[in-house]
Amino acid sequence: MGIKIGIVGVGAFAQCFIPLYKAHPLVDEITLCDLDAEKLAKNAEEHSIAKTSPSLEHLLTTDIDAAVIITQNWMHAPQALQALRAGKQVYSAVPMGINVEEIAAIVRAVEETGNIYMMGETSYYYPGAIYCREKVQKGEFGHLVYAEAEYYHDWDHGLYDVMKWRGGERWLETAGSPPMHYPTHSMGQVVSVLGSHATHVSCHGFVDREDDQVYRPGTNIWNNRFSNQTALFTMSDGSCIRINEFRRCGHRGVERLSSMVGTQASFEQNVAGAAWITKHHVEPVSEQLKLATHPSGGPYAPVHPAHRLPKSFMGLPNGHEGSHHFLVDDFVKACVDHKTPPVNAWEAARYTIPGIIAHESSLRDGERLAIPDFGDPKL
């Protein structure tokens, strides 16, 4: 028996996921939801979906089983909480929330209702993260001592258009958010490999020097002046990690796990390729991480477990390093089987809250701050 899905928000990013939910063999029905009636009708026609809903409030009164939230960043947590309290399972685009209080509220709602929550963090399924998790499971790193990850996305790579589309005429108010408020693409890779969580952080910010007013205090609602932030985290297993969130950088852009150092072996990845390194040997592993057309429909990397995906996904788009197919499949199966998904509420909090506290540290000139944690999954 399948489930009924409501997709909340039918903008540009939703186009990557509507076809996948429609194609999944365990999804019986889809309802599209958006406040923009014209856009809603257009998407319903283009995707041949009969059911629509004019608002989240209306959608939650229908018989959908799960809400897939693909709206503006600052709306994710309130909408996820609303759906959970209405008895629905929830998939949310990243980030989980923009402050600790609303993230805590989601965790409490999941604990109290028993409903499924999954954050759609793409980097959990990136080839480098999958490769390193497999090495950890085999014990080949020894004890992990240090890791580095970064998310480099310069404004010249489409961010102006995205923020103007999201924010409308007053886009500058919401465009200049602290980079560390969007840490999940980098933090998620490291936390998913280490299996530990951040306990403390010291973070420094680069005061922006451009004249487009994006990071001008008094213009953006956070009074944020940092366009780049670098954080050093202490982890619960005794290791340390460095995370960079850069929005002004002379770089083509990347979401990358760049270094993972253990007592017995290490992993390194940069624009030139990737390598598995022991004390006496360097093994190039770039080919294992490279995306290519796969017999089951790709694109996937050799390390991707493509065999477990629905055959109906064959030939459908698969963005963000081959992650989209796995995101949809894991959420749908979690709902059908009522099992905790990989990036569940507790895991998502560990990807998101450290960045929020890191920004606070940067406002205090790098003061070392404690990071709250809600523990391991309770379901």
pTM of the full predicted structure? 0.96
pLDDT recorded at residue 17: 98
Whether residue 249 is contained in a domain is answered as yes
Provide the residue count of the chain: 379
Of 88, 122, 156, the domain-final residue: 122
Same domain, 115 and 169: no
Residues whose CB is less than 8 angstroms from the CB of residue 77 and which lie 6 or more positions away in sequence, other chains included: 92, 96, 97, 98, 102, 103, 105, 106
Paired residues of 89 in beta bridges: 66
Report the CATH number that the domain containing residue 247 is assigned in CATH. 3.30.360.10
Same domain, 248 and 164: yes
pLDDT recorded at residue 166: 86
- Amino acid identity of 229? Q
Phi/psi at 206 (5° precision): -95, 120
Whether residue 333 is contained in a domain is answered as no
Provide the residue range defining the domain that includes 192.
Answer: 123-313+344-370
Same domain, 56 and 145: no
Residues whose CB is less than 8 angstroms from the CB of residue 98 and which lie 6 or more positions away in sequence, other chains included: 73, 74, 77, 177, 181, 356
Task: Tell which residue, 100, 196, 188, has the closest CA to residue 151.
Answer: 188
pLDDT recorded at residue 5: 98
Check if the beta carbon of residue 98 is closer than 8 Å to that of residue 47.
no
Same domain, 260 and 136: yes
Whether residue 110 is contained in a domain is answered as yes
Task: Tell which residue, 348, 352, 143, has the closest CA to residue 260.
Answer: 143
* Chain segment 200-243, per-residue pLDDT in tens: 999 999 999 999 999 999 999 999 999 999 999 999 999 999 99
Whether residue 331 is contained in a domain is answered as no
pLDDT recorded at residue 293: 77
The stretches in the chain having pLDDT less than 50 are: none
* Chain segment 160-210, per-residue pLDDT in tens: 999 998 889 999 999 999 999 999 999 999 999 999 999 999 999 999 999
Same domain, 71 and 137: no
Same domain, 104 and 163: no
Look at the chain and report how many structural domains it folds into: 2
pLDDT recorded at residue 297: 64
Same domain, 154 and 271: yes
Structure token pair of residue 330: 């894991």
Structure token pair of residue 370: 């404690």
pLDDT recorded at residue 295: 67
* Whole-number Cα distances in Å, 31 to 17, 83, 222, 310: 13, 15, 35, 21
Residues whose CB is less than 8 angstroms from the CB of residue 269 and which lie 6 or more positions away in sequence, other chains included: 128, 256, 257, 258, 259, 275, 289
Same domain, 249 and 164: yes
Same domain, 19 and 103: yes
Q: Give the position of tokens 């080949």.
A: 140
- 100, 93, 177, 108 alpha-carbon torsion, rounded to 10°: -10
Whether residue 180 is contained in a domain is answered as yes
Q: How many C-beta atoms surround the C-beta of residue 94 within 10 A?
A: 20
Round to whole Å and give the CA distance between 176 and 180.
11
Structure token pair of residue 307: 């065999």
Check if the beta carbon of residue 261 is closer than 8 Å to that of residue 277.
no
